[in-house]
Structure 1
Amino acid sequence: MANIINIMTAAGAPLLMRIISSSVAVANRAANIIRDIMKKGELGIVEKEGKHDLQTEADRSAQRCIVASLHKQFPNVPVIGEEDLDTQDLPADFLELSFDEDVLKCVCPDQYKDVKEEDIVIWVDPVDGTAEYTQGLLDHVTTLIGISVKGVAKAGAYGFERKNPPQGQNIITTTRSHSDEIITQSVEACKPTEILRVGGAGHKVLLLIEGKVHAYVFASPGCKKWDTCAPEAILHTIGGKLTDMHEKCMKLQMVEKNEQVT
């Protein structure tokens, strides 16, 4: 009964709020799938393009759950996931319609009340930080669902407590497993007092959002749109920005899946 009431309440909400609400709900379901697979210990690891580019059963199952659920609810909105997977013959609970009530209670800003389906793309990284997931470094792992409107990151879901970064320091976070000479030189040029090398693009942006670091530096191609959309949207709300070396902000238009964010 609670779910029926929830769906009826959602029906009167603006499209963008319904998508955010559904994204939060399905992200929580996906997180439970990821935890259950870890507990069972049957990770089903395969290499996609090398030892640092892995896929696990958690990636596959979580993405199928997220994409199938969002596509069923919003069939005309593109949902682009990191993994190249089919969504045939899925368990019934993967197709469950659900909404987060706290999101539905929020007031939609006037400028987004009439956003159309054709203006929206949903970007999904089911397990951001897969390599760290396989090593049991679960604090590096996030499930990212980002929503772009006309090519600009506008929404993402993450619970956090914002604090100011430590004064008198310059803490930089960067990649844990994809470093090279250019990245090292770029980080050192920032004259850091401390360097945090951690996994997961989403995790590193969230460290910045939470005020645990002063900047995230990754002077290399490699991040994808599903890595950055959700955390970028939240970063904007606290006055931060995600740019390239020339301070050019990234666009999140629907493009070929192998295109990189530079």
Structure 2
Amino acid sequence: MIDDFLNGDLSDVEEAVRKAAATEIMPRYRQLAAHEIVEKSGPHDLVTVADRDAEEHLTASLTALLPGSVVVGEEAVHADPSVYEALHGDAPVWIVDPVDGTRQFVRGEPGFCTLVALAHRGEVLASWTYAPVLDEMATAIRGGGALLGGMPLRAGSPATGAALRVAMSHPDYTTPDQKQALLGLNVEGVHARDCGSAGLEYLGVARGELDAVAFSWENAWDHAAGLLLVTEAGGAHTTVAGEPFRIAGGNALPFTAARDAQTAERVRSLLAG
């Protein structure tokens, strides 16, 4: 079933992502009322009516495209953490972050996106990264490459001798051990900065505008789409323990994704101390 779906016309998935953004997200862009913004775990963890409605929209449209599939969405998991267990099941799973970069969206900035990935038994098979304000759509199929606006994406490699450009988790939102690991990037030859939307940072790596990311959290909706995008663009990823990142969880953190395997190993070694 899943192979037949992937071998078919996936333009309907792209259309579903675009329609959810056009219907539920963009009408609220720079139009949010105060009561439409709610704190979840704290002032830096926000949810809006656009997040919730877009996830509901995508849940209905994506499961209709692939009967028997289920959705693991950020807002559904917040309401019921047991939803996350679907990543360990046998059904195909749509992993959805309706608005990745909610803080940017709330501030009226363009740096947010909608992330959708299709996974089965822990393996990410396809992904869609859509930045609606920028009208940029990046897609990836496992073994089939990565595209941006229909054109091939290649991450390439950093220029020899150039300082590495790395986007990383904000140290304020890490455990003491993770904070210490991230401090390993504070060395000559590395220009590290706090990350924005994870999905757009991954896109930056896939298109060669950013050399690597280093993240200290493992929520599948933030990483599934981007990790496949980077991999299919020629990049690599690894946890601090030197293992591939597992979307179902249980990873040694932090982890990195980079433009090539050599860069990933360099960042991993810095994180490992």
Q: TM-score, normalised by structure 1?
A: 0.70
Displacement after TM superposition at 1:175 (Å): 3.0
Amino acid corresponding to residue 138 of structure 1 in structure 2: P
* 1-structure distance, mates of 2:10, 2:237: 21
Q: Which has the higher contact order (CA 8 A, sep 6+)?
A: 1
Q: Distance in 1 between matches of 2:203 and 2:121?
A: 24
* Change in 2 beyond 3 A, CA 1:235/1:80: same
**Which one of 181, 189, 192 corresponds to residue 195 of structure 1?**
192
Report matched runs for 1:1-262 at 5 Å.
14-18=4-8, 20-32=10-22, 33-42=24-33, 44-84=36-76, 118=90, 120-139=92-111, 141-157=112-128, 158-159=137-138, 160=148, 162=154, 164=156, 167=159, 168-176=162-170, 178=172, 181-182=179-180, 184-189=182-187, 191-218=188-215, 220=216, 222-253=217-248, 262=253
Cα distance, 1:178 vs structure 2: 4.5
Aligned length: 211
Q: Return the alpha-carbon distance in structure 2 between the equivalents of residues 237 and 214 of structure 1.
A: 15
Q: Is the 8 A contact 1:20 1:156 kept in 2?
A: no
Q: RMSD across aligned C-alpha pairs, in angstroms? A: 2.9
Give the counterpart letter for 1:26 in structure 2: A
Any idea what SS the aligned residue of 2:41 has? coil
Q: Is the 8 A contact 2:186 2:192 kept in 1?
A: no
Q: Is the 8 A contact 1:45 1:55 kept in 2?
A: yes
Tell me if the contact between 2:72 and 2:93 (Cα under 8 Å) persists in the aligned partners: yes
Distance 1:138 1:16, change over 3 A: same
**Amino acid across the alignment from 1:47:** E
How far did residue 22 of structure 1 move?
3.1
Kindly provide the amino acid, as one letter, of the partner of residue 199 in structure 1.
Answer: G
1:146 touches 1:155 (CA, 8 Å); kept in 2? Answer: yes
| Structure 1, unpaired ranges of 5+ | 1-12, 86-116, 254-258
Give CA-to-partner distance per residue, 1:6-28, whole Å, 9 cap, x none. Answer: xxxxxxx9212458433211111
How far does the alpha carbon of each residue in 1:203-251 deviate from its partner, in whole angstroms, 9 at most, with x for none?
2211111111111112x2x231111111111111122223211121133
Provide closer, same or farther for how the CA distance between residues 164 and 54 of structure 1 changes in structure 2, counting only shifts above 3 A: same
**SS of structure 1 residue aligned to 2:93:** strand
- Give distance in 2, aligned partners of 1:240 and 1:124: 22
- SS of the residue corresponding to residue 238 of structure 2 reads coil
Give the CA deviation at 1:183.
5.3
Shift in CA distance, 18/118, structure 1 to aligned 2, threshold 3 Å: farther
Q: For residue 54 of structure 1, give the secondary structure of its aligned residue in structure 2.
A: strand
- The one-letter code matched in structure 2 to 1:154 is L
Aligned counterpart, 1:256: none
Contact (CA 8 Å) 1:174, 1:196: kept in 2 or not?
A: yes
Following superposition, the deviation at residue 148 of structure 1 comes to 1.6
What's the CA shift string for 1:116-171, capped at 9, x where partnerless? x94522100001111121122222x1100011233112211243354646622311
